[in-house]
Amino acid sequence: MAHKIIIAATFGAVLALSSAASAQQKDQPAGAYQARAMLRNVVTEVKINKEQAFDMFNQGGGRFLDGDIYVFCFNSGNGKFVAMGNANAKDLLGQDVRTLKDATGAAFGQEIYAAGQKPEGDITEVNYLFAKPTDPKPSAKTSFVTKVDDDYACGVGYYK
């Protein structure tokens, strides 16, 4: 357990101190900064205890739901959602992320899945339309997605 905590803390520190991430954060709106910060916490929680983390994320509260900013995670093999912090999207649990299309027909789920296939620590931005936790009408959204370990990928997004 201590080994997992050390690995998670090291991974979080690398993400936080990355000069590329820092440079990008300065040029992004507050929502982007908050989403990236939450993603660092998500990675740490999943690395410590993924089952407990997924349960916490699915409850949709605490530090993993900040207004319209929330976490989602999926199995990087079969693409199925295992965690969804958006109360308006709980029906996605167990669904393959690759099947998702936005209101314009854009297959953003394929992009999210592809982001989860990249090496651990790479963070990819995916832009699409999606319902907010507070409003089911589709809104412009950007999610930051990263692979967390060999089996899962997670993302946190913000609405523009």
> pLDDT tens-digit profile of 66-119?
888 999 999 999 999 999 998 888 999 999 999 999 989 999 999 999 999 999
131: pLDDT strictly greater than 50: yes
**More confident: 81 or 6:** 81
**More confident: 88 or 143:** 143
pLDDT for 62 equals 80
**pLDDT average, residue stretch 54-59:** 94
Residue 134 burial (CB < 10 Å; 0-12/13-18/19+)? Answer: exposed
pLDDT for 61 equals 73
Kind plus residue range of the DSSP H or E element containing 44: helix 30-48
What percent of the chain has pLDDT above 70? 82
Which of the four pLDDT bands, split at 50, 70 and 90, describes residue 135? Answer: confident
**What does the mean pLDDT of the chain come to?**
85
The span from the CA of 144 to the CA of 37, in Å, is: 10
**More confident: 16 or 71:** 71
The span from the CA of 21 to the CA of 123, in Å, is: 9
CATH code at position 122: 3.30.450.20
**Phi-psi region for residue 7, left (φ > 0), alpha (ψ -120 to 50) or beta?**
alpha
Q: How many domains does the chain have?
A: 1
Q: What range defines the domain where residue 104 resides?
A: 2-159
pLDDT for 45 equals 96
pLDDT for 20 equals 39
Residues 6+ apart with CB under 8 A from 139: 129, 130, 131, 132, 159, 160
pLDDT for 77 equals 97
5: pLDDT strictly greater than 70: no
Name the pTM for this structure: 0.81
| Other Cβ atoms within 10 Å of 74 Cβ, number | 27
26: pLDDT strictly greater than 80: no
